[in-house]
Amino acid sequence: MYDAIVIGGGPGGYVCAIRLAQLGKKVALVEKEYLGGTCTNWGCIPTKAMLSSAHLYTEIKEKSKRLGVEVGELNYRLEGIMAHMKRTVTTSRKGIELLLKKNGVDFFNDLAIIKDSKNVLLESRNEVLNADNLVIAGGSEPSLFPPFDSIAGLWTSDDIFKLAEMPSSVAIVGGGVIGVEFGTFFGTLGVKTTIIELADHILPYEDSDVADEIRRTLKKKGVAVMEGTKVISVETSGESFHLVTQGENSETIEVDKVLVAIGRKARISDDIRSLGVEIRRGVVTDKRMKTNMEGVYAIGDIRAEIMLAHVASYEGIVAAHNIAGQEMLMDYSAVPSIIFSSPEVASTGLRESEIDDSSSVKISKFPLAANGRARTMLENTGFAKVIAESQTGKILGASIVSPSATDLIMEAVVAVKNGLTVEQLENSIHPHPTLTETVLGALEGIEGMSIHS
């Protein structure tokens, strides 16, 4: 008899299982395929491995001569890029397996079928595991709907990592995180790339000024960006695809490949539906990660809320502590959103687009071009933006477009999470010369006292 069975070995499930074991609980983790889930195998890790190759290619191509570094003919090998990606994924999987062993988690590489809230059947072993608690962490899968669900040969974000030959042209349907990251990858390596986004601008969950910066850099790479545009039909002709679009400039696009990146949906199997948990878009929980059924918890993408690996991991920690009898509530107020474009994008807390007329806030933006460290790196595209309460100076949100923005955002995450003020951060000495001074410049600008702009 286990204290808990965790179903799904992604960033939510394996973290939850390890934390439960650290809290002295007997725990089993069941994963039907690969440890690490979408993030390790078909998402965060392989994408960033491929983008690391693309970013290095860009650095050499665009900066080497100005930095006094002489190189010969520049080229890339797709097989080398994909080999790096596969090594990274394999190393991550093995690392998770070692962590499970180190912490005494019983791992079963099998398909879990939930019989009821206390019993789980392992299909291949034909063995039933019993537990006082269940944690459902089944993750998500690419979302496909007409006209894309009936066309053979389209790529989803799960398929792209099987890439064996670079296409000469690709259309990416969806200009969110996945679309922009792969648009960056293909555009950097010379593939004729078109991003088609239904919303008014790419990165629709970020502010328009953030999207403006990324759109400009994509266009410099030769990427065509179509916004406010809908794909109304897709047809195949030999080895190519024809996409008919509808928007301000409706046209038909012919490409070698189509990547559909229009989001993901919760993976909810029949046994979960039969269990009796409340389901809307995904499995419904409270802030303790509890479902409507006693002893049953749900974490990560299967909730169909904020589908981010780091959110799933923290939800797993919250669930573990509550199972262990230590009340802990999930707080989504300072979730970092990160995009590995070029330059990178990161945001947390309140966005400028979310401010209504009744809000009393101050907004300050500091350009990357005014930062000394950025100049040494030959970088001038981007900014740091801070939003704060007018009366108290409390930091409500921030957005950063910059090299290493995905690291820089943590200062703002800590500030928003803990209710820190502009004065508190401004009076914390920032090292020089660093990109963190871009954030400092934005903080100083809240009171109109920015020194370097």
Q: Are 49 and 84 in contact (CB under 8 A)?
A: yes
Correct CATH for 148-262 of 3.20.20.70, 2.60.120.370, 3.50.50.60, 3.30.420.40: 3.50.50.60
Question: Between the CA of residue 44 and those of 57, 158, 178, 322, what are the distances in Å?
Answer: 20, 11, 10, 28
Kindly give the interhelix angle for 78-102 and 13-22, rounded to the nearest 10 degrees.
Answer: 30
Buried b (16+ CB within 10 A) or exposed e, 398-435: bbbbbbbbbebbebbbebbeeebbbeebbeeebeeebb
Which pLDDT value is given to residue 357?
Answer: 81
Among residues 305, 301, 279, which one has the least CA distance to residue 292? Answer: 279
DSSP one-letter string for 276-295: T--BSSSB---TTSB-SSTT
- Give the CA diameter of the chain: 69
How many angstroms separate the CA atoms of 137 and 170, rounded?
33
Domains in the chain: boundaries: 2-142+265-323, 148-262, 337-445
How many angstroms separate the CA atoms of 450 and 373, rounded?
17
Which tokens hold the place of 185? 């990858």
Same CATH topology for 2-142+265-323 and 148-262: the answer is yes
The amino acid present at 54, given as its one-letter code, is A
Which CATH code for domain 337-445? 3.30.390.30
Which tokens hold the place of 13? 């499930």
- Per-residue pLDDT tens over the stretch 400-441: 999 999 999 999 999 999 999 999 999 999 999 999 999 999
HSE, CB side, 13 Å, CA atoms: give it for residue 86: 11
Which pLDDT value is given to residue 262?
Answer: 93
Cβ-in-10-Å burial (0-12, 13-18, 19+) of 77 comes to exposed
Q: What size, in residues, is the chain?
A: 453
Among residues 197, 198, 196, 195, which one has the least CA distance to residue 186? Answer: 195
Which pLDDT value is given to residue 366?
Answer: 98
Tell me the three state secondary structure of residue 383: strand
What would be the CATH architecture of the domain defined by 2-142+265-323? 3-Layer(bba) Sandwich (3.50)
pTM for this model (two decimals): 0.95
Which pLDDT value is given to residue 238?
Answer: 83
Stretches where the chain sits below pLDDT 50 are none
CA angle 167, 170, 174 (to 5 degrees): 145
Catalytic residues: 432
- Per-residue pLDDT tens over the stretch 337-385: 999 999 999 999 999 999 988 789 999 999 999 999 999 999 999 999 9
Q: Look at phi and psi of residue 75 and say left if phi exceeds 0, alpha if psi is from -120 to 50, else beta.
A: beta
